[in-house]
């Protein structure tokens, strides 16, 4: 059995990891940390885990975590980078759900996250954990940086078009909506449901922290820098990401050929589902699952291609993808513990 540790077990992504790993046939959750709830049983704080998790919250101390085979960091930015090197030295694999190792340029990271990177020497080793792109590298990695929720939906949606040079990579648009759980489990006025309910707004239009991550991933695929306008929005729902992506066709490729390209590109991807032409994906159809559903449109037969891409921000956008990565790192079938049917209604 794989002994797993979770640093930050009381945030939304930490709890989602507990939900998934508690039913994983090859994993034992042996360490779950929380400074606020240290000494308290996990299932006392989260009764939905009664009978599934016997762990007790502990302080995030290296000696406890060093007994694990893999440690997940479900923590705010700036935490994993303080402990990752020490865990790697002790032979523990690290999967970071925060942004600490996503950007390959430490100065760029510092500019967007407002702090100096504590172990920039590990950035080059970290493998970006998008399995649909980096599967082989993930298999042999010690340190994986899991993608953000927005970057997952956007990159998966654009990938086939960028890989085949079908659209102008200098003029991409990503108009993306997220549920309020994407802001994390903290008391903040702007994300209270009574503030977000019956309302809808864009935010961080001048520059969101996920922008450089998306640009980096798409540029690596394109082999050149990309031009991306990324506008996130907050919607009055708890879970879900809906990305509406726009690209300008470079040639005369038909919508039928693009549909076939997407179906071929993702044919062997168990968690990416290309819907029938003309379909409109719905976030509720992936809620609670590790699936990404997408559909391709060409409005009025013009030169603009529109890709609709939906995921659950806490699963494929965070904890589910982290478990998918763990499965690859430990040579398990990729969907082990992730055969989760979306919740409906």
Give the domain-ending residue among 125, 140, 162. Answer: 125
Domain membership of residue 225 as a residue range: 150-313
pLDDT digits (tens, 9 = 90+) for 212-229: 999 999 999 999 999 999
Per-chain mean pLDDT for the chain:
96
Q: Give Cα 102 distance to the centre of its chain.
A: 11
Asked if the structure places residue 265 within a domain, the reply is: yes
> Domains in the chain: how many in total?
2
Q: Do 178 and 217 sit in the same domain of this protein?
A: yes
Give the domain-ending residue among 125, 142, 173. Answer: 125
Q: Do 176 and 281 sit in the same domain of this protein?
A: yes
Q: What contacts 24+ positions apart, CB below 8 Å, involve 76-80?
A: 76/8, 76/184, 77/113, 77/115, 78/113, 78/115, 78/118, 79/7, 79/8, 80/7
193 pLDDT higher than 80: no
Asked if the structure places residue 56 within a domain, the reply is: yes
Please report the pLDDT score of residue 344 as a whole number.
Answer: 87
- The pTM assigned to this predicted structure is 0.96
Q: Do 11 and 98 sit in the same domain of this protein?
A: yes
Asked if the structure places residue 70 within a domain, the reply is: yes
Question: Is residue 149 annotated as part of the catalytic site, yes or no?
Answer: yes
Q: Do 154 and 225 sit in the same domain of this protein?
A: yes
Please report the pLDDT score of residue 189 as a whole number.
Answer: 72
Q: For position 236, which CATH number holds?
A: 3.30.360.10
Residues near 305 by Cβ (< 8 Å), separated by ≥ 6? 161, 166, 167, 246, 247, 248, 249, 255, 258, 296, 297, 298
Asked if the structure places residue 49 within a domain, the reply is: yes
Q: Do 105 and 216 sit in the same domain of this protein?
A: no
- The average pLDDT across 327-341 equals 97
Please report the pLDDT score of residue 161 as a whole number.
Answer: 98
Q: Do 162 and 306 sit in the same domain of this protein?
A: yes
187 pLDDT higher than 70: no
Confidence of residue 282 (pLDDT cuts 50, 70, 90): very high
Q: Yes or no: say if 84 and 7 are a contact pair by the CB < 8 Å rule.
A: no
Residues near 111 by Cβ (< 8 Å), separated by ≥ 6? none
Asked if the structure places residue 89 within a domain, the reply is: yes
pLDDT digits (tens, 9 = 90+) for 136-149: 999 999 999 999 99
Asked if the structure places residue 241 within a domain, the reply is: yes
Which one is catalytic: 53, 146, 149, 292?
Answer: 149
295 pLDDT higher than 70: yes
Asked if the structure places residue 246 within a domain, the reply is: yes
- CA dist list (Å): 14 to 97, 224, 231, 268: 9, 36, 27, 29
DSSP 276: P
Tell which residue, 163, 159, 129, 168, has the closest CA to residue 327: 129
Q: Do 304 and 231 sit in the same domain of this protein?
A: yes
Confidence of residue 150 (pLDDT cuts 50, 70, 90): very high
The beta strands (E) that lie in 252-344 are given as 272-274, 292-297, 304-311
- CA dist list (Å): 223 to 145, 157, 162: 21, 18, 10
Asked if the structure places residue 343 within a domain, the reply is: no
Q: Do 176 and 247 sit in the same domain of this protein?
A: yes
Q: Do 29 and 85 sit in the same domain of this protein?
A: yes
Q: Do 41 and 114 sit in the same domain of this protein?
A: yes
- The average pLDDT across 224-236 equals 97
């Amino acid at each position: 059995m794989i002994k797993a540790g979770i640093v930050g077990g009381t945030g939304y992504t930490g709890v989602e990891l507990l939900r998934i790993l508690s039913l994983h046939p090859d994993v034992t959750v042996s360490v779950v940390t929380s400074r606020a709830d240290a000494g308290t049983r996990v299932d006392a704080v989260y009764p939905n885990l009664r009978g599934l998790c016997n762990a007790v919250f502990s302080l995030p101390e290296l000696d406890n975590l060093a007994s694990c085979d893999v440690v997940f960091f479900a923590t705010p930015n700036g935490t994993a980078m303080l402990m990752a090197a020490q865990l790697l030295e002790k032979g523990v694999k690290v999967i970071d759900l925060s942004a600490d190792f996503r950007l390959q340029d430490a100065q760029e990271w510092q500019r967007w996250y407002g702090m100096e990177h504590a172990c920039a020497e590990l950035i080059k080793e970290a493998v970006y954990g998008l399995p649909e792109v980096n599967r082989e590298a993930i298999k042999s990695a010690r340190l994986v940086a899991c993608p953000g929720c927005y970057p997952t939906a956007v990159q998966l949606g654009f990938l086939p078009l960028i890989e085949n040079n079908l659209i102008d990579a200098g003029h991409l648009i990503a108009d993306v909506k997220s549920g309020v759980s994407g802001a994390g489990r903290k008391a903040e006025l702007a994300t209270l449901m009574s503030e977000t309910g019956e309302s809808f707004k864009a935010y961080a239009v001048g520059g969101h922290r996920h922008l450089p991550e998306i640009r980096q991933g798409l540029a690596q695929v394109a082999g050149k820098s990309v031009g991306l306008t990324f506008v996130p929005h907050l919607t009055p729902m708890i879970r879900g990401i809906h990305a509406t992506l726009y690209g300008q066709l470079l040639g005369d490729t038909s919508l039928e050929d693009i549909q076939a390209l997407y179906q071929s590109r993702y044919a062997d991807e168990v968690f990416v589902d290309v819907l029938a032409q003309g379909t409109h994906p719905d976030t509720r159809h992936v809620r609670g699952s590790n699936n990404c559903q997408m559909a391709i449109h060409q409005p009025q037969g013009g030169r603009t291609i529109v890709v609709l891409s939906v995921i659950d921000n806490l699963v494929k956008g965070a904890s589910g993808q982290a478990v998918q990565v763990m499965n690859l790192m430990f040579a398990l079938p990729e969907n082990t513990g992730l055969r989760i049917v979306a919740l409906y209604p």
